Every structure is written in C-alpha cells, then in structure tokens.
C-alpha cells in the first residue's frame, strides 16, 4: 500500500451534484449552479498538491466544511449555546461525495469506479478555517 495523500480544497462551500434538468433539444443542466466551479476548485487543489494519477483501487475520505450562519452567533460574536454541533442540513453528504468524486476522476484516479471505500463527514468550519474540504486518498495498489 502506498502512502495516503491529503490535500485541502478552500475558497468556497462544497457544492452537491444533484439532478439534472432537461431544457429541451437534448440539453441538460445541473440543478446546482455551483457544482461546476466546485469541481474545478477540487481538481485544481489536487493538481497543486501534486496528486499523481492512481491507477488501482483507492479509498477516499472527505470532510466537507461549511461556514456557520450568522444566526448561530450572539451579537458579541460568541457561539450560541443552541447552535448545532453537526452540519445536518442540506446539502446531502452523498451528493457532495458525488460531485467531489467526479471532480477527481481523470485527475487523481482513472475513474471514480476505482473508489472501493469512501467515508465522508460534514461539519462547520472552526474559527479561522475556510469553507471547502479536506480530502484523503489512500491507494490500495
């Protein structure tokens, strides 16, 4: 087994890959307008981290990071006691996983069919942390 590769995607909130809408004339568009920029950001982060194409099976882990809404904070900037610990609102973790896998297909691994195991988590950013994702790829060669 080769060493794990971990890299950070930062600069925007993760975008889900949802359903496509049919516009007519055989044209389809993503239901989430941010999915294309998200995929580009993920692919660019992998390239900048020096990720090499994994040709065999791979295990993937992702932690998706979201900015807390203003309603989670008191007027003095401290976190309200009632603020949720977990990010348990939309988007769905599975849809975030799909968009991220597709972004890395052909960049970090030959095809997302090479992923044999996946774990993901959604959470709010820690103070000073940017929205995005922490991604780990483990080649199983």
Q: How confident is the model at residue 38 (pLDDT cuts 50, 70, 90)?
A: very high
Task: Taking each helix axis as running N to C, give the angle between helix 93-104 and helix 35-48, from 0 to 180 degrees, rounded to the nearest 10.
Answer: 50
- Class of 5-139 per CATH? alpha beta
Alpha-carbon distance of 70 to 73, in angstroms, equals 6
**pLDDT higher than threshold 70 for residue 30:** no
Q: pLDDT at position 5, please?
A: 95
User: How many Å apart are CA 9 and CA 36, to the nearest integer?
Assistant: 14
**12 and 41 in contact (C-beta within 8 Å)?**
yes
Half-sphere exposure of 104 (CA within 13 A, CB side): 34
Q: What is the mean pLDDT of residues 15-19?
A: 82
- Mean per-residue pLDDT, 23-37: 74
pLDDT of 121 > 80? The answer is: yes
- Chain segment 77-118, per-residue pLDDT in tens: 999 999 998 999 999 999 999 999 999 999 999 999 999 999
| pLDDT, average across residues 55-64 | 97
Q: Between β-strands 115-124 and 58-66, what pairing exists: parallel, antiparallel or unpaired?
A: parallel
Q: Name the least confident of 23-32, 54-63, 120-129.
A: 23-32
Q: pLDDT confidence of 70, banded at 50, 70, 90?
A: very high
CB atoms within 10 A of CB 49: 15
Alpha-carbon span 60 to 63, nearest angstrom: 10
**Residues 39-48: tens digit of each pLDDT:** 999 999 999 9
**Residue 31, pLDDT score:** 60
């Amino acid at each position: 087994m080769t060493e794990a590769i971990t890299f950070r995607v930062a600069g925007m909130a993760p975008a889900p890959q949802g359903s496509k809408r049919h516009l007519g004339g055989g044209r389809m568009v993503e239901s989430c307008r941010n999915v294309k920029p998200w995929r580009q950001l993920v692919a660019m982060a992998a390239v900048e981290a020096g990720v090499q194409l994994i040709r065999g099976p791979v295990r993937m882990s992702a932690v998706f990071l979201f900015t807390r809404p203003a309603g989670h904070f008191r007027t003095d900037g401290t976190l309200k006691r009632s603020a949720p610990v977990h990010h348990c609102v939309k988007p769905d973790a599975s849809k975030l996983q799909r968009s991220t896998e597709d972004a890395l297909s052909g960049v970090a691994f030959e095809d997302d069919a090479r992923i044999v195991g996946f774990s993901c988590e959604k959470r709010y950013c820690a103070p000073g942390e940017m929205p995005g994702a922490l991604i780990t790829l483990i080649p199983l060669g």
